[in-house]
Amino acid sequence: MAVVWNGLLVLGLVLGFCLVSSLGELELFAESPKGDGSLAFLVVGDWGRRGNYNQTEVAHQMGIIGEKLDIDFVVSTGDNFYEDGLTGVDDPAFQESFVNIYTHPGLQKQWYSVLGNHDYRGDVEAQLSPILRKMDSRWLCLRSFIVNAEIVELFFVDTTPFVDKYFTKPKGDVYDWSGVLPRKRYLSNLLRDVDLALRESRAKWKIVVGHHTIKSAGHHKNTDELGAQLLPIIQVLSTRFIKNI
């Protein structure tokens, strides 16, 4: 089931198998499938609008579906807070765009979030901070990490630092690259960790999550940097995966 609504993408997935998995270098979080081996989660991105742009309406529909599917968690693919991320851990946007919006009982689950390019225009460390997690225990945002839900393993990848134009043509936007520089080393470490984790994973389904599209027919088009650097890692894996069946 997929709903595209006014720029917000909500995607519901129900999966129904069971296999064991393992870990790599990235921080790992564990989720357990339901008793029948199935797992359900919603995916949403580009959302933090203080309820505007139909965010509240989409949140309500997500809640209905979340309840119906009895979701295990929510995946957020970044651009969590428009236009310029959070100004700090005390930015009211955290309440106004997240806490006070996703109030439906069907959405009271763990949220796993990555950063988008708009988040990088604010205080990145604020979004990653445990202080936000204390304010709302559903919140968890890290640059790159893994969620192992046995049947499926999700690899969250920080895609913004791959995109050249934010560095070469920032067009007046200021990006918070602390923790990313030197960029080359950051990207090569990240690619190495993702590659290793994907190779080690024994999960039946492996899903790579990131903010930027590798391929897209939309107006942002393909992200060539990801096509050149991340896609080959995923493709190697799918070859192995097919061979292993």
In angstroms, the CA 43 to CA 186 distance is 26
Among 216, 88, 198, 76, residue whose Cα is nearest residue 148: 198
DSSP string for residues in 62-98: HHHHHHHHT-SEEEE-S--STTT--SSTT-THHIIII
In the residue annotation, 212 being an active-site residue is answered as no
Q: x/- string (CB under 6 A) for ligand NAG, residues 3-42? A: ---x------------------------------------
The nearest distance, CB 60 to ligand NAG, in angstroms, is 12
Is the Cα dihedral 55, 209, 142, 21 positive or negative? positive
Residue given tokens 């946007």 in the structure block: 93
Angle, CA 124 vertex, CA 41 and CA 154 arms, to 5°: 25
Q: Does 53 participate in binding ligand NAG (rule CB under 6 A)? A: yes
Question: Would you say 155 and 237 are in contact if contact means Cβ atoms under 8 Å apart?
Answer: no
| Segment 143 to 162, residues that bind ligand NAG, using CB under 6 A | none
Pick 2 or 242: Cβ nearer ligand NAG: 2
Stretch that binds ligand NAG, among 15-23, 33-41, 51-59, 88-96 (CB under 6 A): 51-59
Stretch that binds ligand NAG, among 36-44, 48-56, 138-146, 177-185 (CB under 6 A): 48-56
Pick 54 or 100: Cβ nearer ligand NAG: 54
Pick 102 or 175: Cβ nearer ligand NAG: 102
Catalytic residue, chosen from 118, 212, 219, 220, is 220
Q: Does 83 participate in binding ligand NAG (rule CB under 6 A)? A: no
Whether the bond between 27 and the residue before it is cis, its omega within 30 degrees of 0, is no
Q: Does 54 participate in binding ligand NAG (rule CB under 6 A)? A: yes
Cα distances (angstroms) measured from residue 159 to each of 1, 65, 115: 25, 28, 8
Pick 62 or 180: Cβ nearer ligand NAG: 62
Residues lying near ligand NAG in the complex (CB under 6 A): 6, 52-54
